[in-house]
Amino acid sequence: MAKPRPRVKLPKTASAGEVITIKTLINHVMESGQRKDKEGKPIPRQIINKFTCEFNGTPVFSCDIEPAISANPYFEFTAKVMESGKFKFSWVDDNGETYTHEQGIQIK
């Protein structure tokens, strides 16, 4: 499929101290390294191995990922927001690339 493209869903605004839910999805085959091609050769592993979420530069949540995570990986988690600012999300690919997405939130 096309180049991995992150999708993130979080509210535009929140009250100070509110715990918000963040949903993320990225298109990726998550090739496990366990499969073989038509000639019987192993298909090399290529997965998203790390996901991180920061808020205004401070780590909030991250995952260390193994090949047992499904294709098009989905992560849902929470964050407590005290101030307006920007979330930064990163997905690290086995091929060395990092896909990032930034999204802001305002305190009501």
Partner 1 sequence: MLKKTRMLAAVAAVAGFALAGSYAVAEPADDDLVIDGTMKMTVRAKPPEGHPLDEVRSGWLYRTEETRALEEDTFQNPGMLYVERGEEIWNTADGKAGKSCASCHGEAAASMKGVGASFPKWDADAKRPINIELRINKCRQENMQAEPYKFDHADQKALTTYIKHQSLGMPVSVDLSQGDMQSWWEKGKETYYTRTGQLNLSCASCHELNNGKYIRADHLSQGNVNGFPTYRLKQANMVSLHNRFRGCIRDTRAEYPKAFTDVLMALEVYVTWRGTGLSVETPAVRQ
Partner 2 sequence: MNLSRRQVLTLSASAVAVAATGLGPSVVFADAAATEKSIAAFTGGKSPATGKITLNAPEIAENGNTVPISVSVDSEMTKDSYVQSVMVLAEGNPNPGVITFNFSPMSGEATATTRMRLAKTQNVVAIAKMNDGSVFMDKKLVKVTIGGCGG
Rule CB under 8 A: which of 53-82 touch partner 1? 70-72, 74
H or E element in which residue 20 lies: strand 18-26
Cβ contact 29:48 at 8 Å: no
The option from partner 1, partner 2, none interacting with 5 (CB < 5 to 8 A, set by class) reads partner 1
CA–CA separation, 25 vs 33, rounded Å?
22
* Binding-residue total with partner 1 (CB under 8 A): 13
**What does DSSP assign to residue 40?**
S
- Cβ–Cβ < 8 Å for 87, 54: yes
**Per CB under 8 A, does 103 bind partner 2?**
no
Residues of span 13-42 touching partner 1 by CB under 8 A: 23, 25, 27, 29
Give the binding site for partner 1 (CB under 8 A).
Answer: 1-2, 5, 7, 9, 23, 25, 27, 29, 70-72, 74
